[in-house]
Amino acid sequence: MNKIWIITRRELASFFDSLIAYVIIIMFLGFTGFFTWVTPSSNIFLIGQANLQVFFQIGFWTLFFFIPALTMKMLAEETRSGTIELLNTKAISDWEIVAGKFMACLLLVVIALACTIPYYVTVSQLGSVDHGAMIGGYLGLVLLSAGYISLGLFASSITNNQIVAFLIALLIGIFFQLLFDMLGFSLRGGIGNVLNYLSMRTHFDSLSRGVIDSRDLIYFFSVIGVGLTFAQAMLSKRNWQS
């Protein structure tokens, strides 16, 4: 655990040193703030309901695009510059490296989300809000991010080119974000149900309505687990025998 935290701290420091953290946070606040409070067609005052459904929907898409940008360099850059050899020959396991990087990305997203707490406070001043839905929405965004981060880390582990890692992460992500949902809708029966279950949207929507269901939690944790396991397997690939 301690070793994981050492990696996490380094990665977080590197996010803030390289301005990536500030850019991501400002852009995230900019996008979500604009659509939540300013756009003429969907802003909160126009809808006239004291909830953050608009914010959660925009956050759902913004994070989908931003997270690959965070994760793309995580392992790809280490492989390219050779620093992975430094890490792998120190007293730390591949699993701790992957977990540390995962935590760093997740913490940055949580910091960005924490910056939107004023939205919550403002809305709760405007009318009576459903606190369950709010908490569920935030929880949904965190779990969704964790899922995409683990998939992004996997994408970053299979190449040493950051751009390729970014695109692969988006490609994998778009299935979970959109395509499984659409295919599930058009294909009925068993396959349709499976695809529907695989879609992030289904689970995110039910969480953001304030329904915290173990099925959704199991889903998110499975995605995280699979992504991280694959990323770790790719990192350990050097030990496979040809």
CA distance 156 to 126: 43
Q: Residue holding tokens 């050779």?
A: 82
* Of the residues 29, 50, 92, 135, which one makes contact with other proteins according to CB under 8 A: 92
Task: Pull the structure tokens for residue 138.
Answer: 């935030």
CA distance 186 to 121: 40
* Of the residues 40, 90, 189, 190, which one makes contact with other proteins according to CB under 8 A: 90
* Of the residues 39, 81, 193, 222, which one makes contact with other proteins according to CB under 8 A: 81
Q: Residue holding tokens 């068993």?
A: 190
Our CB check for other proteins shows the closer of 29 and 87 to be 87
> What is the DSSP secondary structure assignment for residue 236, as one 8-state letter?
G
* Of the residues 41, 128, 214, 241, which one makes contact with other proteins according to CB under 8 A: 241
By CB under 8 A, how many residues form the interface with other proteins? 24
Q: Say how far residue 98 (Cα) sits from the centre of its chain.
A: 15
Nearest distance in Å: CB 37, other proteins: 36
Task: Pull the structure tokens for residue 58.
Answer: 């925009």
CA distance 127 to 133: 14
* Of the residues 41, 89, 186, 214, which one makes contact with other proteins according to CB under 8 A: 89
Our CB check for other proteins shows the closer of 22 and 221 to be 22
In contact, 153 and 75? CB cutoff 8 Å = yes
* Of the residues 43, 53, 93, 206, which one makes contact with other proteins according to CB under 8 A: 93
In contact, 220 and 143? CB cutoff 8 Å = yes
Nearest distance in Å: CB 174, other proteins: 31
Binding mask 4-23 for other proteins (x = CB under 8 A): --xx--x--xx--xx-----
CA distance 34 to 29: 8
The reply on whether position 82 binds other proteins by CB under 8 A is: yes
Q: Which residues are near other proteins by CB under 8 A?
A: 3, 6-7, 10, 13-14, 17-18, 81-83, 85-93, 238-239, 241-242
